[in-house]
Amino acid sequence: MPRWEPGGRERLVVAAVDLFTEQGYDETTVAQIAERAGMTRSTFFRHFSDKREVLVAGQEALSRLLAEGVADAPAGATPLQAVGEGLARASSAMGPLNRDLGPRLRAAVAASTELQERDALKSVGMAAAMAEALADRGVPEVTAHLAAELGVLAFKRGFAAWSEGDPTTDEPLAPHTAAALAELVSASASLT
């Protein structure tokens, strides 16, 4: 086996999600994940500091894409329009592997308090990235945070709808996140 096989990180993520689904997070060891992926334990630790970190594989990239989309929104865009641009940018990076893993990963998170805590931190990171990008655009702090939180909720709702949809289609994620954001904006209007 070559020392650095291509796609190693992705194979570890798939192996971990499969094992978390089959036998539970607590019962899954790093050694089992590495073995399932056809790798060594030390190779696992080149990619992740522990098995919990598999959950947030790609978090930095996702947060960066959200923030870049917000920053690159047209100058006259409202905060929610800018968030919509961030959702579109991040959605464009999601492919078939993300769609396939979505439902299984959600099931693994639902079954583990430790993973629920890590998932909550992931959401906080995504919201912070968008809020900072909005603040850089001159959006007041409270408005920036509210828009960013709506963006995270829209991303999660859109991703859930997309990943639970028909996997045989090449349907992109972006329309789902846009629809989720529109639904949340409409729902928030009824709060006053």
Per-residue pLDDT of the chain (192 residues; tens, 9 = 90+): 344 455 888 899 999 999 998 998 889 999 999 999 999 999 999 999 988 888 777 788 899 999 999 999 999 999 999 999 999 999 999 988 888 888 888 888 888 888 888 888 889 999 999 999 999 999 999 999 999 999 999 999 999 999 998 878 888 999 999 999 999 999 998 887
Closest Cα partner for 55 from 138, 143, 118? 118
Token readout for 24 is 């539970």
**In the chain, what are the domains?**
8-53 (1.10.10.60), 58-189 (1.10.357.10)
Can you give the pTM of this predicted structure? 0.85
DSSP states along the chain: --SS-TTHHHHHHHHHHHHHHHH-TTT--HHHHHHHTT--HHHHHHH-SSGGGGGGTTHHHHHHHHHHHHHTS-TT--HHHHHHHHHHHHHTT--HHHHHHHHHHHHHHHT-HHHHHHHHHHHHHHHHHHHHHHHHTT--HHHHHHHHHHHHHHHHHHHHHHHTS-TTS---SHHHHHHHHHHHHHHHHTT-
